[in-house]
Amino acid sequence: MRNELPDGTARGVAGRAVAPRIYLDHAASTSLDDAAATRMADVARASGNASSVHSAGVWATREVERARMRIADALGASPEEITFTSGATEANNFALKGVVWSGRRARPHLIVSAVEHPSISEPAAWLQAAGHARVTTLPVDSAGRVRAADVEAALGPDTVLVSVQHVNNETGVLHPVAEIGRICRAAEVLFHVDASQGFQKAPLNVAAMHIDLLTASGHKLHGPKGVGVLYAREGVSLVPLLHGGGHERGVRGGTLNAPAIAGFGEAVLRYTPADVERITGLQQHFERELRALFPNVRIHGADAPRVPMISNFAVPGQSGKALFLELDRRGILVSASSACHSTLLTPSGVLIAMGLSPAEANEALRVSFGRSTTVGDVDTLLHALTTIIKGVAPCP
């Protein structure tokens, strides 16, 4: 077994540092930004509850509201439209169940896509199985994109909500959310977007894109784990998931995690277009070299617009799980699928929905880049893949 040192170095069984690890699984989670960590520590040292009215509580409230304003500004929203949650999973459940239970229609109709994160697909399936809603699951094209025309065709008089993700968590493919938003607004149907993978990494404006509900998570952009947000446009009625205490304007009970919220706000401020531009260069370098080394490689979603943080690929005849394990043994951390499915033996549902066979889906490997990724990290990965697959190192 190997343990990790704080600097990311791998520790062997004798306790000796053997090699630095290379972390290329930023779609699953990112490292905590130093400034965000410092801000969290400062807030954590204070004992005030953001719901208290004494000076310590007022100070904690000020930190929460500063983060709320930063996140709202990044989305083109008003601070009053932002509700803090324990993460995107809670926020996604809140969006779907909150709309269905708002009582506008008996057994209302929901529309979701076939490539949604489990925190959308599973609540939707539960709502249908429990008799609370009727659900339509839309297919995607071969590039993994939802077709806006399919959304329009699926709308009915009982449709209350359409939920389509901003960016797919396995392929990085961008969905046409602005076009879908226009269709939903014209039909007076609420539109929800899970923006966990795309927030700050691709253009996103809730007003311009006619988005009524949106969820995001702190740990996807070098903020802390355990904190997320639900944006709900003013006037949208939701039944709370959590009752009690009157927190968050009465829509989400529970003492606010002020340190994590403050860290989230700091991380949003520090994730910049320059970061996206640099990571774009890394992805282009990786995929260009990958194609040169393995001409038959498949890059899933390459025919659609994508964010530069994710490259999902397969070398025909190679097991993605086997490559994942061998890379991990060498200290290179990637993923064979979404983090939420990484322990399952079933092939990726996203890739199956894109038309791949189970055997082809099992060949997939996901590499995802972050702010800490370097060209050297990418080249080390390429070298390792060549050594593992071809049994030889590439020429210098």
Catalytically active residues are: 340
Spatial separation of the C-alpha atoms in residues 217 and 226, rounded to whole Å: 8
For 220, residues 6+ apart whose C-beta sits below 8 A from its C-beta are: 27, 29, 30, 196, 197, 199
Q: Distance between CA 215 and CA 133 in Å, rounded?
A: 21
Residues 6+ apart with CB under 8 A from 49: 56, 57, 60, 255
Write the CB contacts of 367 (distance below 8 Å, at least 6 apart in sequence). Answer: 24, 286, 310, 311, 312, 313, 334, 335, 381
- Angle between helix 273-293 and helix 375-390 axes, rounded to 10 deg: 20
State whether residue 367 is helix, strand or coil: strand
Distance CA 71, CA 63 (A): 13
Which of 113, 116, 111, 114 has the alpha carbon at shortest distance from 128?
111
Tokens standing for 2?
């190997």
- The owner of tokens 């995607």 is 140
Question: In Å, what is the CA distance from 241 to each residue of 80, 253, 336?
Answer: 18, 8, 33
Q: Pairing mode, if any, of strands 159-163 and 109-113?
A: parallel
Distance of CA 224 to the CA centre of its chain: 14
Helix (H) or strand (E) holding 116, with range, is none
Q: Which of 354, 362, 357, 360 lies closest to 113, judged by CA?
A: 354
Residue 12 in contact with residue 2, Cβ under 8 Å?
yes
How many Å apart are CA 347 and CA 356, to the nearest integer? Answer: 10
